[in-house]
Amino acid sequence: VEVLREWADLNVDTVQKDDAPEFIQKVVRPVNAQRGYDLPVSVFVGREDGTWEHGTATYEKRGVAASVPVWNPDNCIQCNQCAYVCPHATIRPFVLDEKEQKGLGEEVALLKTQGKQFEGTAFRIQVDVLDCLG
């Protein structure tokens, strides 16, 4: 693979702060990197029953899907069945009020939400690409 010479001298404008909790840094990341056998038993003290902290998926954005579903608003009847059957909950329905719609680019497809209780809102399906497993 040919790499341009300029890539060797790239300036890093920002450094991303790693504010992940200790459990994520010392347990979750090594396990996800297939280095779980290298962990000392001491990191599991207090977790002998196999308990796991909640909210770890926030730090586990893998982006590994070979194909990701694309919402087609022309075929959508706002039934949310696609979100219901998605095994990893990455297909997500959104109802946006007028304030939430401001700032969205024209390329963001929205539908007028069905139902009297949703007057003045818009509907959209959004796929979380980083969490999707295909």
The alpha helices in the chain, defined as continuous H runs, are 22-23, 29-32, 81-85, 98-101
Residue ranges of the chain with per-residue pLDDT less than 50: none
Instruction: Supply the pLDDT for residue 126.
Output: 97
Q: Which domains does the chain have, with CATH numbers?
A: 5-59 (no CATH), 63-134 (3.30.70.20)
Instruction: Supply the pLDDT for residue 13.
Output: 75
Instruction: Supply the pLDDT for residue 117.
Output: 94
Q: What angle do CA 106, 66, 64 make, to 5 degrees?
A: 90
Which residue carries 């401001």 as its tokens? 102
Instruction: Supply the pLDDT for residue 14.
Output: 73
pTM of the model as a whole: 0.66
Instruction: Supply the pLDDT for residue 100.
Output: 94
